[in-house]
Copies of this chain bind each other. A is one copy, B any other.
Amino acid sequence: MSNPNLERRLSRFLPVLDWGRGYGRADLMGDGIAAIVVTIMLIPQSLAYALLAGVPAEVGLYASIAPLIAYAVFGSSRTLSVGPVAIVSLMTAAALAELNLQSATAIVAAAGVLALLSGLILLAMGALRLGFVANFLSHPVISGFITASGLLIATSQLKHLLGVPVSGHTLPDTIGQLARSLGQINLPTLIIGVFATVFLVWVRSGLARVLKTLRTPVGLIGPLVKAGPVFAVVATTWAAWQFDLGNHGVSLVGEVPSGLPSPEMPAFDPDVWLALMGSAALISLIGFVESVSVAQTLAAKRRQRIEPNQELVGLGAANVASAVAGGIPVTGGFSRSVVNFEAGARTPAAGVFTAIGIALAALFLTPYLFFLPKATLAATIVVAVLTLVDLKILQRSWRYSRADFSAVVLTMLLTLLVGVEAGVASGVVLSLLLHIYKTSRPHIAEVGLVPGSEHFRNILRHDVETDPQVLTLRIDESLYFANARMMEDHIYARVSADRELRHLILMFSAVNELDISALESLETINDRLKAMGIALHLSEVKGPVMDRLQRSSFLEHMTGKVFLSQYAAFQALRRIQPEPAAA
């Protein structure tokens, strides 16, 4: 590879070529330690999120091996850790539920198809450089969705904590079923669930304080706290074995097959593929948004850059790998990536080492998982997802703007009451409609000269100079079909009452775009004002808009002139010229 240009392009598509070249001993140390910490943390998390997705626990382990290796090769983040995450698992469960499959084998197979489709969609988006599509998920939609998902996930786990049979994919459904089955609560399960939950909450708050007083090195506190679930897993597994809780109504993980399934492409069944396509698209998009925002936050801390389109390729490859390895849809997770970063990971090789760790666990640890109570896994999920719930967004968005607030509320309510897909989709559509509605009624300010400057501001907000025969209107919006007519009406209403007027200046400093409908309106305004003996001028027309106007014949018919600055326009047209001293 002596061609440096080709090399640069290749290493852009295969970031491994970039970081792999200079890999040294320090990298190995950092990556190795991070991998050990993350592996310990990932084992219970992978099992838990598999159960959340509605597939057997071991599938979570399979989804935490091959995808990490694929991401290490193609991903652009140095420290992102991919695998099953709460929200994507929730969406997976919702998508699989719609298929109404009965056998566990069919469900696992469908989950693989979902991962494959997500992977292919992400790869296609990457190839077409469609990363910007994710920008259409507005902050209110994402916040509302994540908060609602956190609540949905937490309530969905209550059945495991209480030991009652419940299945529902919307909040009213789940709560209704829970209420009806309160009489069947299993006491040992409840004790384990409450113990695990309280312990995990304490680990997050109290343990850090205890470790600090014990003078534990600061760098270790974070990983130790994140490894809390492992202690809960070990303790409750031991208790379940010791007291034979399986025969006292406590749900256990049970027989977990040892070893790894042989790689296999999901079978092609057009009905299933078609049915899962919409869900796969939404899972890809949400997973991508979640992952990219984690990756960017971490990259910024070390002044590294994330290439969103390359991230699509990385995540796409990870999902295809998950599908082939018998896993479920995956994405970059927040807490695991932070742990990876804080434990000192320096390159994606940490992900490869983590994959090796999980593979060893799948090979040798599974017999010990037999007695692991599902209530413990449910507790780790509940404690993890409650950090996602951010109800303050309601208050913040309400204070900031009613439009943003309504997008938060709609997304949240529909996610809780109808489902995750309806929630996101209607949030996006509402956000776009609200934006269009806002731009369709432009703010138009009458402006005057701020004394002692060349600056023009709204006459209603500032003390400014004006002239009776010159009217300046600042159009505060790009002009396009949805608002051009409204601008016309505004101008006629303002101008028709004013007998002294000789010049109308439209100040175009905020007009970023002018489509052909708006051009038509400008031509009509020009003609009508001409009939009234008023000249039409433009000021502060931006380059791109001016380019456009020059491609039409409008400037030839215009009764007035185009001025570079509003000040130049006002000075040229005002009747009352300022005194020479002030000039």
Contact = CB atoms under 8 A, between A and B. Distances in A.
A212 interface: no
A103 interface: no
A567 B455 contact: yes
Of listed A140, A432, A453, A516, residue having the most chain B CB within 10 A: A516
A435 B510 CA distance: 16
A481 B137 contact: yes
A214 to B, nearest CB: 32
Contacts of A401: 515-516, 548, 551
Contacts of A453: 454, 565, 567-568
A450 interface: yes
Given A436-B436, A454-B454, A517-B140, A512 B567 contact: no
Nearest to A297: B524
A438 B515 CA distance: 11
A364 to B, nearest CB: 44
Given A132-B486, A458-B543, A520 B481 contact: no
A478 B478 CA distance: 9
A426 interface: no
Interface stretch (A87-95, A203-211, A334-342, A439-447): A439-447
A332 to B, nearest CB: 17
A139 B552 CA distance: 15
Interface in A363-413: 396-397, 399-401, 403-404
A440 B548 contact: no
A336 B513 CA distance: 37
Of listed A400, A540, A564, residue having the most chain B CB within 10 A: A400
A51 interface: no
A517 B138 contact: yes
A480 interface: yes
A490 interface: no
Contacts of A481: 135-141, 431, 435
A190 B401 CA distance: 67
A497 to B, nearest CB: 12
Nearest to A138: B481
Contact of A565 (B303, B450, B531, B544): B450
Number of contact residues on A: which range applies? 35 or more
Contact of A544 (B443, B519, B542, B552): B443
B440 A483 contact: no
A341 to B, nearest CB: 16
B135 A543 contact: no
Contacts of A491: none
Contacts of A455: 454, 540, 564-565, 567-568
A300 interface: yes
A476 interface: yes
A166 to B, nearest CB: 36
Nearest to A527: B300
Number of copies: 2
Given A454-B455, A509-B510, A542-B476, A551 B400 contact: yes
A418 interface: no
Nearest to A431: B481
Nearest to A475: B512
B132 A399 contact: no
A62 B483 CA distance: 38
A31 interface: no
A482 interface: yes
Given A481-B431, A482-B136, A515-B403, A528 B300 contact: yes
A483 B516 contact: no
Contacts of A135: 440, 481-486
A557 interface: no
Contacts of A450: 564-565
A514 to B, nearest CB: 9
A282 B359 CA distance: 61
A435 B397 CA distance: 26
B438 A513 contact: yes
9 contacts: A135-B485, A399-B552, A400-B551, A431-B481, A443-B512, A453-B568, A454-B454, A455-B565, A509-B509
Q: Which 8 A-B pairs have the closest CB atoms?
A: A138-B481, A139-B517, A454-B454, A455-B565, A404-B516, A476-B512, A510-B510, A509-B509
Interface of A: 132, 135-141, 300, 303, 305, 396-397, 399-401, 403-404, 431-432, 435-436, 438-443, 445, 450, 453-455, 457-458, 461, 476-478, 480-486, 492, 496, 509-513, 515-517, 519-520, 528, 531, 540, 542-544, 548, 551-552, 564-565, 567-568
Given A136-B440, A141-B481, 6 more contacts: A139-B481, A404-B515, A439-B512, A454-B567, A455-B567, A476-B544
